[in-house]
Structure 1
Amino acid sequence: MVTVIDDKSEHCVPFILERLQAHRIKHESRGNVVPPFFLGLNGVQGAGKTTLVSALCNTLRSPPYNLPTIVLSIDDLYLSHSAQVALAQRHPYNPLVQHRGQPSTHDLALGVSVFNAIKQRQPFRLPVYDKSAFNGQGDRADGSTWIAVNQPGEKPIEVVVFEGWCVGFRPLSEEQLERKWREAKAREEAGEGRGRLGRHNLADLQFVNESLKGYDALTNSLDAFVHIDAENTQYVYDWRLQQEAAMRAAKGVGMTDEQVVKFVDGCE
């Protein structure tokens, strides 16, 4: 059994409340209608994002704030299974896009449409992704399960928590990317490598980096940002193995341990 200790909320929640107050003051001082507040939150899997998000949402939705708040995970913007398969087939020799996870495997048009609906306070449905579909490969859940938001008679959403491991990532310049790749490759060859950057072909990394440019359409909308680090990235493997084992026990489907390791390798 894993014990979850929340050691982040006491630091992060006050910071976010301060940024939210500054956001409101800025717009009210100009005589403008205060637009919805977008918070970006990222961190490696298992770093405590879910626990922090839960504490934050409970705070914002409760008195004295009473702010309609939603959480949008970047995971729920993954491509449909058929679109992901097509992407993998177009780049059969790039291991980074053979499964969901990396920038290029999300539906950015869907994400932009959701962000725009929130900003314009229009009715929409919050997308849901089913990670158990296709034996753990995942697929977009049926539209009937998507969550109706900003419906007539409801208070419109005022705060959006946009969370995920690569939320807020920015592309590197070609020079930066190649330099980091060459440095990682040199460490690998010297037996000092700890990550996997140097094990990939530069062209494969360039594809992901180029794809990341499109994510600026979402990142540029963020009003505040929180990054959660991990003391040891090995925790990510342990957590994902536990999570997938729980999914297999509950639904009878999910990735094998070997598939989980390969999946996390791609992110790390």
Structure 2
Amino acid sequence: MTTFKLELQHVYKEYPLQNGSFKTLEDISMQIEKGEFVSIIGPSGSGKSTLFNLISGLDSPTKGDILLDGQSIKNKKGFVSYMPQKDHLLPWRTVLDNVILGMEIKGIPKETARKKALEHLDVFGLASFANEYPSALSGGMRQRAALLRTILLDNNVLLLDEPFGALDEITRMKMQHWLLEIWEKYHHTILFVTHSIDEAVYLSDRVYVFSHRPARVKEIVEIDLPRPRDPSIITGENFSRLKERLLTLLAKE
């Protein structure tokens, strides 16, 4: 029997209301192999961020189970690293002290955490900004700092919730290519939420297409593009074919 790095088994989520209930997720099953880059795309409000809250243990599924390496992590925190849409950098802490915040919360001594972070700042393009405050950073650099903070938690699974959604198109393209380089260097398993079809195709091994709320897995699209990927791939015939497939699926929602 195959053991997946991350597996969701028939996950449901609904919230009680005075007159009935509010359903957000319905029978979501996903299987993600170690080291895969998998994206989720779907209409706004279809429960994608809710799903991340369930996987990270911030909320509980109504039914179903969530497995990491074959073991249930339902209702358990600290087993995956979650980077939300906003960078949440604290303006009164330097870049270095922002990226070690998660480690400090885990109880790692500040000097130990700083030493570990300093080993990675150059790879993330932040070495010369270690002692600056977030106000000195561009949007792309703030996202780099937020991602480093997420990676330093030493979990093999990263949940990235629209990390580039607020960036301009040129910066976003640069960050996508940079993220692939980081992924190839650190070998994390990534589950990525986006509203951009181009982004989903460019980054992913597979794309899960969600329906309108309550979200179901409408289809799984394999992204059969070679790696490593270069930005020029977006002008190719195969890229256009995959993009059209996803557009067609989403247009029916």
| TM-score, normalised relative to structure 1 | 0.33
| TM-score, normalised relative to structure 2 | 0.34
Q: Which has the higher strand share?
A: 2
Whichever of the two has the greater Rg, that structure is: 1
